[in-house]
Amino acid sequence: MIVGTQKPIDEIWSMVRDSKRVLVFGCNTCVAICHAGGEKEAETIATLLRMRASQEGKDMEVNYLSVMRHCEPEYFEPVMDEVKTYDLILSTACGVGVNFLADRTGTIPVYPGINTSFYGAVQQPGDFTELCGGCGNCILHLTGGICPIVRCSKSLMNGPCGGTKNGKCEVSDEVDCAWFLIVERMKQLGTLEKLAEVLPPRNWSPSTHGGPRRIVIEHLREIEQQEEKKG
Amino acid sequence: MKCGSNLEKVILSGQPAVTAELGPPMSADPHEVIKKAQILKGFCDAANITDCQTAVVRISSIAAAVLALREGLEPVMQMTCRDRNRIAMQADLLGAAALGLKNCLCLAGDHQKFSAAGRLKGHPGAKNVYDVDTCQLVGILKKMRDEGLQEGGDKLEVAPKYFIGASWTPMGDPLDFRPMNLMKKVNSGADFIQTQGIYDIELFRSQMEKIRNMGLHERTAILGGIIVPKSAMMLKYMDSSVAGVSVPKALIDRMAKAKAAAGEDKKKAKELQEQEGLKITVELIHQVLETPGVKGVHIQAIEWETAIEGIVKAAGLYPRPTFPVE
Ligand code: SF4
Ligand code: SF4
């Protein structure tokens, strides 16, 4: 899932302070799970903004709304007419949702209510950790299922640096050293010898370094186009 | 001969090699580099010029290396993977070779959050690069030198001839992976290795035994790292806080005793500890050099370059070998 955290209310206020009608627009999938931008959080932000507006003597109407997902148009299309009656939308979806909606609202600005941080998992309630960086060329089969690209602070591909101490990374005692975990896991799997191979410099272009990425699945598009013709 | 550097010649001659370290200043003033180069010259075969060590901005390794070279001290340019992508690395490697540099030590580099262990502001919010890692950088240098090719495959009209080095932390976590770690660097093309500081000689020797069983000591020249201890406090700090360094209690006790002998006299305590530190250093040098498979020592006297002369002499490693100019 995509993990984010709510922006400080002062920062949000600075984005919306001059608007008359503000919609706090939540997304009920990933960012709801991490308590950053689901309906509940959208409601809370709306309340805080209303209080702030009255404290500062601003004539501002703030409402909230949420849909299941902000990354596919069919989810927010039913509410688009209503959404477009506002003069500012504070989206608490992840950055994908903010971008996606912003492309569709014409003259109405869409601003981010959360900081989208990473792709992660729920280690335990309230504890979210980054486990994948979406590099576009997965190598987990070579590293015991532990990602060196985002779980190693230096994205090292061929083993640990000299900074590992007691299984922790040199950047912080709170951060596990990915390579310590990889070595332990590969030992457990009986595949440590696999690590002897030197991985050559990576092609980073399938990652965020080759320009914006797009994946087109031709047969899905064809089916869609046929349906449209029929309809 | 791969590059004809002085360091390579010493190693090929079979005599124990001695390298030291020169940390460039946080300043545009060349004089500190020049002064340190003059202090070290003649007492080591080459000196590492650190590359923004501890993630703090300093005179670049290449520039400081050229300053040292002009003083007659052979530099080992260090290159970290933190600050440059493969384009910048190779451009710098060509430039440095064109300026006459012949040794390059590849390393991952301290993370930008390190900021001199919090003593300086540094740039913890900087973006790091890590386009390639140490093994891959070693491989790039080898490909440039031996195949005359850039990493991307384009031809180099004149290939840079480097003596290729890499760092190694023999006693870092996970301990049983460290030999394989070295093997990967050697397989990538490391001609010489400088290790993290060694105090725990028993543990180092047991790691070296594994290295000998793998035959790695014959494929690369391992220089054991010696960090000159200045005080009991420094030894304790290194034991508890520096990754891959463990200091036996006996050594810490020796230093603590030297300190205690001075009573309340702080100046004397410093002197006595420094004396003891130099003694320990010379002992460690002998113990490391007596370890089969070791080809030399890399002595780091951090912000104490003046100590090198005495250490090298006391260790019986002076004068340093010289070779006729071709
Ligand atoms: S290797 Fe790439 S795709 Fe696989 S987990 Fe890591 S970042 Fe994600
Ligand atoms: S300590 Fe481990 S996780 Fe941290 S940078 Fe080094 S290898 Fe990567």
Query: Which residues from chain A sit within 8 angstroms of residue B134, using beta carbons?
Result: 156, 158, 161
Q: Stretch A13-28: mean pLDDT, rounded?
A: 98
Written as six digits, the tokens of B184 are: 């990967």
Q: Are residues A110 and A162 in the same domain?
A: no
Average pLDDT on A9-13 reads 98
User: Which residue, B197, B188, B244, is CA-closest to B216?
Assistant: B188
- Nearest Cα to Cα of residue B171 among A178, A165, A169: A165
Q: Is A135 in the pocket of ligand 1 (CB under 6 A)?
A: yes
> Residues B299, B20: contact at Cβ < 8 Å?
yes
Q: Is residue A97 domain-shared with residue A36, that is, in the same domain?
A: yes
Are A144 and A215 contained in the same domain?
A: yes
Ligand 2 mutation pick, A146, A150, A179, A183, max ligand atoms within 8 A of CB: A179
Same domain for A98 and A202, yes or no, is: no
Residue of B nearest to A173 (CA): B241
Provide the residue range defining the domain that includes A16. Answer: 2-118
Q: Is A124 within the bounds of a domain? A: no
Segments in B23-60 forming alpha helices (H): 31-40
Interface of B with A (CB under 8 A): 81-82, 86, 107-111, 113-114, 128, 130-136, 139-140, 151, 167-169, 172-174, 176-177, 180-181, 183-184, 187-188, 196, 243-244
Question: Is the distance from CB of B61 to CB of B76 less than 8 angstroms?
Answer: no
Say if residues A88 and A12 touch (Cβ distance below 8 Å): no
- From CA B166, how far away is CA B79, in angstroms rounded? 10
Same domain, A7 and A113: yes
Q: What is the pTM of this model?
A: 0.95
Residue B325 predicted with pLDDT over 80: no
Mark whether A193 and A89 lie in a shared domain: no
Is residue A150 domain-resident? yes
Yes or no: say if B56 and B26 are a contact pair by the CB < 8 Å rule.
Answer: yes
Tell me phi and psi for residue A91, to 5 degrees: -90, 130
Task: Give the pLDDT score at A230.
Answer: 81
Helix (H, G, I), strand (E, B) or coil at B135: helix
A146 Cβ under 8 Å from any chain B Cβ: no
Q: How far apart are CA B172 and CA A63, in angstroms?
A: 56
Tell me the pLDDT tens digit for each residue of A78-111.
Answer: 999 999 999 999 999 999 999 999 999 999 999 9
Phi, psi torsion values for A117, nearest 5 degrees: -110, -55
> What is the distance in angstroms between the Cα of A90 and the nearest Cα belonging to chain B?
27
ipTM at complex level: 0.95
Q: pLDDT (tens digit, 9 = 90+) per residue, B121-134?
A: 999 999 999 999 99
What is the Cα–Cα distance from A64 to A84, expressed in whole angstroms? 13
Residues A162 and A92 in one domain: no
Which of B130, B184, B63 lies closest to A149 in space, CA to CA?
B130
Give the single-character DSSP code of A206: I
Q: Which of A162, A196, A199 sits opposite B180 (nearest CB)?
A: A196
The answer to whether position A114 is within a domain reads yes
Nearest CB to B128; choose among A154, A167, A198: A154
Residues with CB under 6 A from ligand 2: A 152-154, 156, 160-161, 163-164, 169-170, 177-179
Whether B146 has a pLDDT exceeding 90, the answer reads yes
b/e burial code for range A26-60 (CB count within 10 A of at least 16 → b): bbbbbbbebebbbbebbbbbbeebbebbeeeebeb
pLDDT at B322: 96
Same domain, yes or no: A146 and A94: no
Q: Residue A130: is its pLDDT beyond 90?
A: yes
Q: Are residues A206 and A105 in the same domain?
A: no
Q: Tell me whether residue A135 is in a domain.
A: no
**Is it the case that residue B55 has pLDDT exceeding 90?**
yes
Residues of A in contact with B173 (CB under 8 A): 160, 164-167, 177, 180
Number of Cβ within 10 Å of residue B287's Cβ equals 17
Residues A94 and A160 in one domain: no
What average pLDDT does chain A have?
A: 95
Q: Stretch A8-28: mean pLDDT, rounded? A: 98
What is B6-314's CATH number? 3.20.20.220
Residue A221, pLDDT score: 85
Percentage of chain B with pLDDT > 70? 100
Residue owning the nearest CA to atom 7 of ligand 1: A133
Chain A positions touching B110 (Cβ under 8 A) are 163, 170
Stated as kind and residue range, the H or E segment containing B256 is: helix B249-260
Let me know: does B20 contact B47? Beta carbons within 8 Å: yes
Q: How far is CA B216 from CA A87, A165, B18, B141, B179, in A?
A: 69, 25, 20, 20, 9
Chain A residue closest in CA terms to B133: A156
Q: Which of B180, B188, B243 sits opposite A164 (nearest CB)?
A: B243
Cα gap A151→A143, rounded to integer Å: 11
Task: Name the band, by pLDDT with cuts 50, 70 and 90, for residue B326.
Answer: low
Domain of residue A50, CATH code:
3.40.50.2300
Identify the helix (H) or strand (E) that includes residue B183. helix B178-188
* Number of separate domains in chain A: 2
- Nearest-CA residue for ligand 1 atom 8 is A132
A231 and A155 in one domain?
yes
User: Prior bond to B174 cis, omega within 30?
Assistant: yes
What is the residue-averaged pLDDT of chain B? 97
> How many residues make up chain B in this entry?
326
What digits encode the pLDDT tens for the residues A173-229? 999 999 999 999 999 999 999 999 999 999 999 998 889 999 999 988 888 888 888
Contacts 24+ apart (CB under 8 A), B235-244: B235/B199, B238/B197, B238/B199, B239/B199, B241/B117, B242/B197, B243/A162, B243/A163, B243/A164, B243/A165, B243/A170, B243/B169, B243/B172, B243/B173, B244/A162, B244/A164, B244/A165, B244/B169, B244/B170, B244/B171, B244/B172, B244/B173, B244/B196
Residue length, chain A? 231
| Domain chopping of chain B, boundaries | 6-314
Same domain, A160 and A228: yes
In a domain, A94, yes or no: yes
| pLDDT over 80 (residue A117) | yes
